[in-house]
Each structure stands twice: as structure tokens, then as C-alpha cells.
């Protein structure tokens, strides 16, 4: 299990919360961006991948490398849709969890707003990132990591070889 961060636009507070969770739970974190990223000193489980410039290159890297049961943090709805399809847990920096029940409507709303912007309609952006968003994200991150860890532990338990007792092997 790994945590992926679409790091180009992730708020510093989000990264810091993830770094603390990584240290506490022993989970590897990979930040992916189009530019160099600062990493905390001593963060042995935290690494960064810098991809070359180009539209959606960082997104494609995450899609190509994320696996079932991983956790991804992104505000990019099309990226979230691709990751949900791969059975990756997806969370946005404001604490919204994307899953197969809501990603279709979120993608539709995003496309509608994108079309409105393209037609010249004034569309306001998201509210500033503040304490409320940080709290929502921290709470959602804890819930998602708990679910992901349970899923990982169940998969590991199923993959363990069944040991037979000496009595059973002679039957």
C-alpha cells in the first residue's frame, strides 16, 4: 500500500498531514509533480518523482503506477475518475472522498463548468484553503487510511499459506 500525491497543486498543509500519517503508520508516500518538490528531512518513506513538462504527465504517471488499495490525493477530477476505476482510494485536499458512487456526477459537473468557462461565463473558483478544509481533509484521510489498511491486511491474510498441524498432514 502506498499514498500518491498529485503534488503540483496540493496545499502544504495536506502534504504535512500525509507526512505525519506516513511516519505514524509506516506507509510509503510518493509525490508526483512537474517541478522539484521539497521533502522533509529524515522522511525515509517519502519520495518524489519529477516528471517532465507536458499536459497530464504527472497524472499519467500516477495512473500507471498506482495499484488496487493504494490511496491517492488529488483535486483533479479526471485523474480521480481513472484512479477510482483502478480501485484506488481517492481523496481531494478538501476532504471529499471520490468513489464509484460519486465520481460520475463529479466528472459531469466538472465538464459542465469547464464548458461554461470556455463559453466565457464567469465562474468563481474554490474558496481559500483554510482551517475548515484542513480539518475535513485530516478526518477523511484517517477514515481512508483505516479502510485501506484493513483491505491490505485482509489481502495479506488470504495470501498466507495455510499451515497444517502434524496430525492433519498424516491423514
Mind listing the domains of the chain with CATH numbers?
A: 2-121+128-158 (3.40.50)
Task: Enter the C-alpha cell of residue 20.
Answer: 505525519
Burial of 11 (0-12, 13-18, 19+ CB in 10 A): middle
Choose among 65, 55, 74, 56: nearest CA to 14. Answer: 74
Q: What is the pLDDT of residue 124?
A: 72
How does pLDDT run along the chain (171 residues), one tens digit per residue? 999 999 988 999 999 999 999 999 999 999 999 988 888 887 899 999 999 877 789 999 999 999 999 999 999 999 999 999 999 999 999 999 999 998 776 777 766 667 767 788 787 777 889 999 999 999 999 999 999 999 989 888 888 776 555 555 554
- Hey, how many other C-beta atoms are within 10 angstroms of the C-beta on 89? 24
Does pTM surpass 0.85?
no
- Hey, how many other C-beta atoms are within 10 angstroms of the C-beta on 81? 17
Task: Enter the C-alpha cell of residue 40.
Answer: 522533509
Paired residues of 29 in beta bridges: 3, 46
Task: Enter the C-alpha cell of residue 103.
Answer: 465520481
In degrees, rounded to 5, the angle at the alpha carbon of residue 67 between the alpha carbons of residues 98 and 99 is: 15
Instruction: Give the whole-angstrom CA distance, residue 139 versus residue 146.
Output: 11
Amino acid at each position: 500500500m502506498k499514498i500518491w500525491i498529485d503534488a503540483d497543486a496540493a496545499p502544504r498543509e495536506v502534504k504535512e498531514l500525509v507526512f505525519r500519517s506516513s511516519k505514524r503508520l509506516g506507509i510509503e508516500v510518493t509525490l508526483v509533480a512537474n517541478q522539484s518538490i521539497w521533502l522533509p528531512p529524515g522522511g525515509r518513506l517519502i519520495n518524489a518523482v519529477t516528471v517532465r513538462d507536458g499536459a497530464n504527465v504527472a497524472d499519467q504517471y500516477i495512473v500507471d503506477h498506482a495499484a488496487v488499495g493504494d490511496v491517492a490525493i488529488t483535486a483533479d477530477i479526471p485523474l480521480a475518475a481513472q484512479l477510482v476505476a483502478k480501485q484506488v482510494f481517492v481523496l481531494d485536499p478538501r476532504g471529499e472522498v471520490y468513489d464509484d458512487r460519486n465520481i460520475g456526477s463529479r466528472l459531469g459537473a466538472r465538464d459542465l463548468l469547464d464548458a461554461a468557462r470556455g463559453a466565457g461565463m464567469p465562474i468563481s473558483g474554490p474558496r481559500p484553503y483554510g482551517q475548515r478544509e484542513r480539518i475535513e481533509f485530516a478526518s477523511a484521510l484517517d477514515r481512508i487510511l483505516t479502510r485501506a489498511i484493513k483491505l491490505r491486511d485482509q489481502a495479506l491474510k488470504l495470501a498466507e499459506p495455510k499451515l497444517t498441524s502434524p496430525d492433519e498432514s498424516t491423514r
